[in-house]
Amino acid sequence: MSINTVRFSDFDLKPSIQEAIAQHGFETPTPVQEAVLGLPDVLSTDLVVQAKTGSGKTLAFSLPLINDLVAGGVPRILVLAPTRELAQQTAGEMEWLGRPLGMSVAVLVGGVPIGPQISQLRRGASLVVGTPGRVIDHLERGTLNAATIESLILDEGDHMLDLGFRDELESILKRMTAIKRTWLFSATIPDSVRYLVRRYLKDPRKLTLSVDE
Q: Contact positions toward ligand ADP, by CB under 6 A?
A: 26, 29-30, 33, 51, 53-59, 93
Best CA proximity match to 94, nearest among 124, 57, 121? 57
| 3-state class (DSSP) for residue 170 | helix
Pick what 196 binds: ligand ADP, Mg ion, none; C-beta below 5 to 8 Å, kind-dependent.
none
Pick what 111 binds: ligand ADP, Mg ion, none; C-beta below 5 to 8 Å, kind-dependent.
none
Q: Which residue lies nearer to ligand ADP by CB, 32 or 121?
A: 32
CB of 57 to Mg ion, least distance (A): 5
Q: Which residue lies nearer to Mg ion by CB, 127 or 146?
A: 127
Q: Which residue lies nearer to ligand ADP by CB, 118 or 163?
A: 163
Give CA–CA dist 103/153, Å, rounded. Answer: 17
CB of 154 to Mg ion, least distance (A): 11
Site residues for Mg ion per CB under 5 A: 57
Give CA–CA dist 139/204, Å, rounded. Answer: 26
Q: Which residue lies nearer to Mg ion by CB, 57 or 134?
A: 57
* Rounded (10°) CA dihedral 4, 9, 12, 14: 170
With a CB cutoff of 8 Å and minimum separation 6, the contacts of 147 are: 177, 178
